[in-house]
Amino acid sequence: MDKHLKLNSYCVKGGKRNESTKAHQLPLYLSSSFVMEDSQEAVDIFTGQKKGHVYSRYGNPTIDTVANKIAYLEGYDLKGETYGFLTSSGMSAITTLMMSTLQSGDAVLTQGNLYGGSTELLKKILSRMGVDTIFTNLQDLDAVEGIIKENGNIRLLYFETPANPTMACIDIEAINIVASRYDVPTAIDNTFCTPYLQRPLSMGTDYVIHSTTKYLNGHGNSIAGAIITANYEASRKIWETLKLNGSTCNPFDAWLLSNGMKTLAIRIDKHSSNAQSIAEYLSQHDKVTHVNYNGLPDHQDHEIAKKQMSQFGGMLSFTVVGGQAEALATIDRLQYCTHAPTLGDVDTLVLHPATSSHLNVDHSIREKNGITDGMVRVSVGIEDVDDLIADFEQALGQL
DSSP string, 191-233: TTTHHHH--GGGGT-SEEEEETTTTTT-SS----EEEEES-HH
Task: Reduce the secondary structure of 331-370 to three states and give it as a string.
Answer: HHHCCCCEECCCCCCCCCEEECHHHCCCCCCCHHHHHHCC
Say if residue 348 is in the same domain as residue 286: yes
pLDDT tens digits along 352-361: 998 887 776 7
What's 135's domain CATH number?
A: 3.40.640.10
Position 358 scores a pLDDT of 74
pLDDT tens digits along 241-258: 999 999 999 999 999 999
Position 22 scores a pLDDT of 87
Tell me: pLDDT of 162 over 70: yes
pLDDT tens digits along 281-301: 999 999 999 999 999 999 999
- Which domain-ending residue is among 261, 295, 324? 261
Position 234 scores a pLDDT of 98
Q: Which of 214, 267, 366, 377 is catalytic?
A: 214
Confidence of residue 210 (pLDDT cuts 50, 70, 90): very high
Confidence of residue 343 (pLDDT cuts 50, 70, 90): very high
Tell me: pLDDT of 175 over 90: yes
Tell me: pLDDT of 15 over 80: no
**What integer is the mean pLDDT of 77-92?**
97
Task: Give CA–CA dist 223/218, Å, rounded.
Answer: 11
Say if residue 302 is in the same domain as residue 251: no
- Which domain-ending residue is among 232, 261, 290? 261
**What integer is the mean pLDDT of 108-123?**
92
Confidence of residue 2 (pLDDT cuts 50, 70, 90): low
18, exposed or middle or buried, with CB in 10 Å at 0-12, 13-18, 19+? exposed
Position 11 scores a pLDDT of 76
Say if residue 288 is in the same domain as residue 213: no
Say if residue 234 is in the same domain as residue 282: no
Assess whether 155 carries a catalytic annotation: no
Contact partners, residue 346, CB within 8 Å, separation at least 6 = 218, 219, 220, 267, 381, 382
Q: Which of 29, 155, 171, 189 is catalytic?
A: 189
Position 361 scores a pLDDT of 72
Nearest to 61 by CA among 94, 90, 26: 26
Say if residue 209 is in the same domain as residue 315: no
Say if residue 253 is in the same domain as residue 280: no
366 part of a folded domain: yes
Number of domains in the chain: 2
**What integer is the mean pLDDT of 16-42?**
89
Tell me: pLDDT of 1 over 60: no
pLDDT tens digits along 32-75: 999 999 999 999 988 889 999 999 999 999 999 999 999 999 99
Say if residue 167 is in the same domain as residue 146: yes
Tell me: pLDDT of 117 over 80: yes
> In this structure, what are the phi and psi dihedrals at residue 182, rounded to the nearest 5 degrees?
-115, 15
Higher pLDDT, 362 or 323: 323
Position 64 scores a pLDDT of 97
23 part of a folded domain: no
Assess whether 214 carries a catalytic annotation: yes
Say if residue 125 is in the same domain as residue 71: yes
Assess whether 123 carries a catalytic annotation: no
340 part of a folded domain: yes
Rounded to the nearest integer, the mean pLDDT of the chain is 94
Full-model pTM = 0.94
72 part of a folded domain: yes
Residues of the domain holding 81: 60-261
**What integer is the mean pLDDT of 214-228?**
98
Assess whether 189 carries a catalytic annotation: yes
Q: Which of 57, 123, 287, 333 is catalytic?
A: 57
Higher pLDDT, 116 or 211: 211
Tell me: pLDDT of 270 over 60: yes
Tell me: pLDDT of 19 over 90: no
Tell me: pLDDT of 112 over 90: no
Q: Considering the chain, what percentage of its residues have pLDDT values greater than 70?
A: 99
Confidence of residue 14 (pLDDT cuts 50, 70, 90): confident
